[in-house]
Structure 1
Amino acid sequence: MTTQTTAPETPSAPAAAQSGLIGLPHRLGRALATGGGALTIISTFLSWTWTADFPGDLTVYGYPGGLQVLVLIGAVFTTLFGLASYGIKGLGWLTPGSADSALKLAALGTFATAWYTVIAISVELGGVVNLEPGGYLVAVATLAALLGALALPFERPAPDLADPDDTGLERFRHNSRQNWNTFKAAFASTTPAPARQLPAYAEILVIVAAMAAGLLVFTYGIGTEYDELFIGFLLTAGFCFAALGKSGIVARVSAITARHRTVTMAGAFVAAAAFPFTQSDDQYATIGVYILIFATVALGLNIVVGLAGLLDLGYVAFLGVGAYTSALVSGSPSSPLHVNWPFWASALLGAAVAMVFGVLIGAPTLRLRGDYLAIVTLGFGEIFRITVLNMDGTSGPDVTNGSNGISSIPNLNILGFDFGKDHTFLGATIGRFANYFLLMLLITLIVVVVFRRSSDSRIGRAWIAIREDETAALAMGINGFRVKLIAFALGASLAGLAGSVQAHVTYTVTPEQYQFAHVVPPNSAFLLAAVVLGGMGTIAGPLVGAALLYLIPAKLQFLGNYQLFAFGVALVLLMRFRPEGLIPNRRRQLEFHEETEAPAVLTKAGA
């Protein structure tokens, strides 16, 4: 009688996925994460400290305030994702992707914000003795929720069969790759399951809700009253957005907005136009108008870098050309021209002169590629700054007043509407910067339309072909020089248009405003970072990237000499974990994530 032996069965993926990063059973971990989130919600209604010396007044029972509100938001997300991971009926819409991955990120964000607050209270007030019961409870509850979330299962990658001829070094590399893939799988999201398409009116309501939520988050972030609250806002907003992305909600909303692009654009415009009416004074509207100027110029640069693939390090010079041109003809007493053109004429002139400079600079340089083109454009930016610095009547002709610049630029007056005065509209009073915010918003809309129409056109497809492989594009009959020159000229004209408004907003234009790496954006370095970090080749990417890159340095001034260090660390981390940008197009996302399944139809360049 012979005994028949069989090879042990390979465990299936669900069977293999019995534990997470820590050794707790996954059922206990899920209960711990959900219960910790619920206890965190309760803790936000308790007092966290006994004195109101800590900003935000965390001494009140029954009413969350300051950083407690942010912890409450994170705890609500943690609890909801935890309940959804149980498969509770009615919560399936919340996690069309991966409930466990979303729960991990929500718990981590809540833990980070809560412990940051507890540590800040202890440091600023002189020890943990200044914590009230709510402070101790939130520390324990968020830690429990995080440990429970880390115990949730994830699918481990199937191991490759070992090669008997492998050397020890090869086995070490193999095991290292397996361990890294296992770690990444802990926070990996699954592809959202296809959902039943909603009626058109319901999808429009979803778009409206998304725009309202975006306006609320932006208004809250820009209006944070003290430093600790802004740090907590960054932690909560970043992790919650990542959790929503892992859950699949962001992908669902993106698919809906792609089907209603015109409605989405109109909704975004209306939501942005409502921002000045949420402000009681010009303090934050000032930041808003500068963000729009920065974002508009970044979107123009996105044509050059994102669509055509041309690395331009001197793009801020075109903004300066438009600003100086408009300042010279707008009636400034320090202008040697002594003319006062209407705004529409000065804006068109600024865009036209910037376009001419774009052609003059691009014609002899666009035959270069890569690093050589970047060096030449960087040189052009410095040449522009030095030229306007020397045109002071001493070193050169008296045109720009040298380092003093052109000052006392008058406020705009369009059809009798004085942008320098307060106006009442629908019972709300809007000030000077709110007026310019609405004007700049209109110009941003024009730039968005130009970008969208250009990217969807034949010339836009030629830009993308040049960006992907210039040699192949030339072999297919595309006139590379002409196509790149059009991109350079169009991007320069859009920057000049934004510069025309900037001159009136700032009252004064000076050479130091247009350096490569000026302390305050916009400058060439920050503009390029906004395009890359936001998402090259998209519309929303540079707008979001510019908003973050302007808002974060403005709010991190309390760090003093460590401001740029903290900012640089944040950029490095973002590029490490999301190299395709915050809002990437599908082509670029596939380049950086080979494990992502290719869609049946790739979205357009401007999606």
Structure 2
Amino acid sequence: MTTTPLTTLALRRAAAAALGKLEGTVTAPVARALTAGGAVLTIASAFLSWTWTADFPGDLTVNGYPGGLQWLTVTAGLLLLLQSLSAHGVRGLGGLGPHGHTIALRRLALGALATSWFTLGAIAVELGGLANLTAGGWVAAFAVLPALYGALALPADQHAATPADALPAWRERLQVTAIAAFGLFLFTYAIETSYGELFEGFLITLGFGAAAHLKSGLFERTSALLTRQRPFAMAAAFAAAALFPLTQSDDHNANVGVNILIFATVALGLNIVVGLTGLLDLGYVAFLGVGAYTAALISGSAYSPFHHAEVPFWAAALIGAGVSMIFGVLIGAPTLRLRGDYLAIVTIGFGEIFHLTVQNLDGTSGPNITNGPNGIPNIPDISLFGFSLGTAHTIGSFTIGRFANYFFLMLLVTLIVIAVFSRAGNSRIGRAWIAIREDETAAEAMGINGFRTKLTAFALGAALAGLAGTVSAHVTYTVVPNPYVFAGSTPPNSAFLLAAVVLGGMGTVSGPLLGASLLYLIPEKLEFLQNYQLLAFGVALILLMRFRPEGIVANRRRQLEFHQADLPEQAGPADTITLTKAGA
């Protein structure tokens, strides 16, 4: 059944009328009291026992101390309480949102409800029914309802968020340091979650909290603060990332961090082609494979036909990036005169050609160069200035393992790629890329050489992917053809890379980094998604296109294009997670 504009308008009026009736059922002071009281009850309920058996992960049988998912309920209730006090005009909390702004309050109330009910539902599913809930579990089920009712009963005032006044430099830098530390805490908590239910609950709490504070204008004020303190913010972000391996006692988590950086760096290179220039490249992962195979062939592996020609890593990195750039030029030169779907089809073909070629260079179907499906194993660890990255090192009380060493190296590579992306995007060639993305015909009419400009983007993106591939070959010890396909079960592949750029936010620096982190970490933590990853990501992209088509971290230009109707309300939180222009 199709809905006409009149039908849609009638439905909206009916919903507004129903909400208006609810808002008028209680007075504002009573609604405020219900909201704050419900938040306090939600926090208190987490200090009760929710189940009688310790078979559920996290041990929720203890009275007086939260455990596992109960801590997320405490967090959701605390966020709700603080937002409630801020919305009611309590001094000192105005930074969370303007006085009287209840949209964020409602979202946090829904988040507290979703977090607690998810935990109770997980207990029922894991243990076999609601009979496994104790009295504390039932208290938790209903504790948040007064807060939700009070938040819905408050008038839906939508005051515009006023920009925060500039503070003294030392206070702003202290706030930036706190933001960087909070980001490190969130990432560390997510990567250390020991079971799927805890990670799912974390995503629920984080999602509702982010949606609420995006609406309250907190991200907009944070973005303005980071813009004013751009150099210090970049240094703080780098320091927080460098501290991550020192917080890990499990080398597996450092390995996950390394792979996230590799995935994110390649996605950022693809962002030059897709986000800035508007070229749909569906075979981009092949350039990562070119860099990885180049490094594997010349780094001294006994299974390489060129194992006698071993070169140091810095030379292998330059050669891998250069060979990938040459492939980018060779592939782009005959194909970049195509546009749209035709270009996408050709790039898919290039990706498949690369995958089949490295499989057939096994000495049987072709020359023995890549060892076919078996790949090139036993790639030696990188040694820089006599320092082997494959050996654990002790610094004081900290032990820096193999993957921690590679994390630091990959962090430097990521900074190089960010610097290249930022400088290129803000340069004359970057403005030409954006002009071609917006309208290639108009750009050429203004004197821009469209073919040469697109070829430059293609070659630069390929070189950045090849640079990351040289590190990836040493991290994994083995280079095989399986990952370098359009769509596969594990990242990185072209579909995952494209999804990371679109999900995070095209044309930004922090968007692909965030999108790649989510797309790598979620399948790593949620094992049941491993066989349904493409389905899950497809659903996520559909929802994203419906509710936030500009991506999680929005480029201001694209955000204005997608939200012209509600411009005053949505134009604020562009590039909210970190700085786009600063490259953080």
Name the CA distance, whole Å, in 2 between partners of 1:606 and 1:518. 33
Residue 143 of structure 2 corresponds to 141
Name the CA distance, whole Å, in 2 between partners of 1:546 and 1:513. 16
Q: Which residue type is aligned with residue 448 of structure 1?
A: I
Deviations 1:322-362 (A, max 9, x none): 00000000000000012211000000000000000001111
Point out the more displaced range, 549-558 or 517-526.
549-558
Point out the more displaced range, 487-496 or 584-593.
584-593
Residue 177 of structure 2 corresponds to 208
Q: Does residue 297 in structure 1 map to residue 266 in structure 2?
A: yes
Residue 46 of structure 1 corresponds to 48
Q: Does residue 596 in structure 1 map to residue 570 in structure 2?
A: no
Residue 318 of structure 2 corresponds to 348
Name the CA distance, whole Å, in 2 between partners of 1:97 and 1:304. 43
Distance of aligned partners of 1:605 and 1:130 in 2 relative to their CA distance in 1, 3 Å threshold: closer
Q: Which of 272, 281, 285 is the matching residue for 1:316? A: 285
Residue 36 of structure 1 corresponds to 38
Distance of aligned partners of 1:605 and 1:120 in 2 relative to their CA distance in 1, 3 Å threshold: closer
Name the CA distance, whole Å, in 2 between partners of 1:497 and 1:26. 62
Q: Which of 542, 545, 555 is the matching residue for 1:585? A: 555
Residue 345 of structure 2 corresponds to 375
Q: Which residue type is aligned with residue 353 of structure 1?
A: V
Distance of aligned partners of 1:592 and 1:280 in 2 relative to their CA distance in 1, 3 Å threshold: same
Name the CA distance, whole Å, in 1 between partners of 2:159 and 2:274. 31
Q: Give the superposition deviation at 1:599.
A: 6.7
Q: Which of 494, 516, 526 is the matching residue for 1:546? A: 516
Distance of aligned partners of 1:599 and 1:79 in 2 relative to their CA distance in 1, 3 Å threshold: closer
Name the CA distance, whole Å, in 1 between partners of 2:487 and 2:347. 14
Residue 445 of structure 2 corresponds to 475
Q: Which of 141, 144, 154 is the matching residue for 2:156? A: 154
Name the CA distance, whole Å, in 2 between partners of 1:551 and 1:24. 45
Q: Does residue 523 in structure 1 map to residue 493 in structure 2?
A: yes
Decide whether the 8 Å contact of 1:67 with 1:117 is kept in 2: yes
| 1:134-283 superposed matches below 5 A | 134-154=136-156, 190-283=159-252
Decide whether the 8 Å contact of 1:19 with 1:26 is kept in 2: no
Deviations 1:61-118 (A, max 9, x none): 2221110111111100111111222122222222148731111111111111100111
Q: Which residue type is aligned with residue 211 of structure 1?
A: A
Decide whether the 8 Å contact of 2:86 with 2:96 is kept in 1: yes
Q: Give the superposition deviation at 1:579.
A: 1.2
Name the CA distance, whole Å, in 2 between partners of 1:196 and 1:24. 38
Name the CA distance, whole Å, in 1 between partners of 2:490 and 2:358. 19
Residue 105 of structure 1 corresponds to 107
Name the CA distance, whole Å, in 2 between partners of 1:125 and 1:582. 36
Q: Give the superposition deviation at 1:395.
A: 1.3
Q: Give the superposition deviation at 1:562.
A: 4.6
Name the CA distance, whole Å, in 2 between partners of 1:197 and 1:140. 42
Distance of aligned partners of 1:18 and 1:374 in 2 relative to their CA distance in 1, 3 Å threshold: closer
SS in 1 for 2:90: coil
Decide whether the 8 Å contact of 2:268 with 2:512 is kept in 1: yes
Residue 421 of structure 1 corresponds to 391
Deviations 1:175-207 (A, max 9, x none): xxxxxxxxxxxxxx6542132111222221121
Residue 487 of structure 1 corresponds to 457
Give the number of equivalent residue pairs.
Answer: 559
Q: Does residue 122 in structure 1 map to residue 111 in structure 2?
A: no
Residue 177 of structure 1 corresponds to none
Q: Does residue 361 in structure 1 map to residue 362 in structure 2?
A: no
Name the CA distance, whole Å, in 2 between partners of 1:400 and 1:20. 71
Decide whether the 8 Å contact of 2:523 with 2:529 is kept in 1: no
Decide whether the 8 Å contact of 2:72 with 2:202 is kept in 1: yes
| 1:10-21 superposed matches below 5 A | 19=20
Decide whether the 8 Å contact of 2:489 with 2:531 is kept in 1: no
Deviations 1:303-328 (A, max 9, x none): 11111111111100000000000000
Decide whether the 8 Å contact of 1:455 with 1:606 is kept in 2: no
Deviations 1:240-259 (A, max 9, x none): 11112112111101111122
Q: Which of 435, 444, 465 is the matching residue for 2:414? A: 444
Deviations 1:394-437 (A, max 9, x none): 11111111111111101111111111111112320021111111
Name the CA distance, whole Å, in 1 between partners of 2:97 and 2:133. 36
Decide whether the 8 Å contact of 1:292 with 1:441 is kept in 2: yes
Deviations 1:23-68 (A, max 9, x none): 6436244332221111001111111112211100111222211101
SS in 1 for 2:394: strand
Q: Which of 434, 443, 446 is the matching residue for 1:464? A: 434
Q: Give the superposition deviation at 1:145.
A: 2.2
Residue 12 of structure 2 corresponds to none
Decide whether the 8 Å contact of 1:553 with 1:567 is kept in 2: no
Q: Give the superposition deviation at 1:576.
A: 2.0
User: For structure 1, which runs of at least 5 residues remain unmatched after alignment?
Assistant: 1-14, 156-188
Q: Which of 65, 69, 72 is the matching residue for 1:70? A: 72
Name the CA distance, whole Å, in 2 between partners of 1:69 and 1:84. 22
Q: Which residue type is aligned with residue 380 of structure 1?
A: F
Larger Rg: 1
Decide whether the 8 Å contact of 2:88 with 2:99 is kept in 1: no
Decide whether the 8 Å contact of 2:275 with 2:501 is kept in 1: yes
Deviations 1:212-255 (A, max 9, x none): 11110010011100111011011011111111211211110111
SS in 2 for 1:274: helix
Q: Give the superposition deviation at 1:364.
A: 1.0
Q: Which residue type is aligned with residue 25 of structure 1?
A: V
| Pairwise CA RMSD | 2.1
Q: Which of 65, 85, 88 is the matching residue for 1:86? A: 88
TM-score, length-scaled by structure 2: 0.92
TM-score, length-scaled by structure 1: 0.88
Distance of aligned partners of 1:324 and 1:455 in 2 relative to their CA distance in 1, 3 Å threshold: same
Provide the identity percentage.
65
Deviations 1:373-407 (A, max 9, x none): 11111111111111111111111111111111111
Decide whether the 8 Å contact of 1:97 with 1:246 is kept in 2: no
Name the CA distance, whole Å, in 1 between partners of 2:130 and 2:532. 26
Residue 8 of structure 2 corresponds to none
Residue 387 of structure 1 corresponds to 357
Decide whether the 8 Å contact of 1:49 with 1:131 is kept in 2: yes
Residue 25 of structure 1 corresponds to 26
Q: Which residue type is aligned with residue 19 of structure 1?
A: G
Name the CA distance, whole Å, in 1 between partners of 2:245 and 2:101. 37
Deviations 1:106-159 (A, max 9, x none): 11111111001111112222332322232111110123322332333226xxxx
Name the CA distance, whole Å, in 1 between partners of 2:477 and 2:468. 14
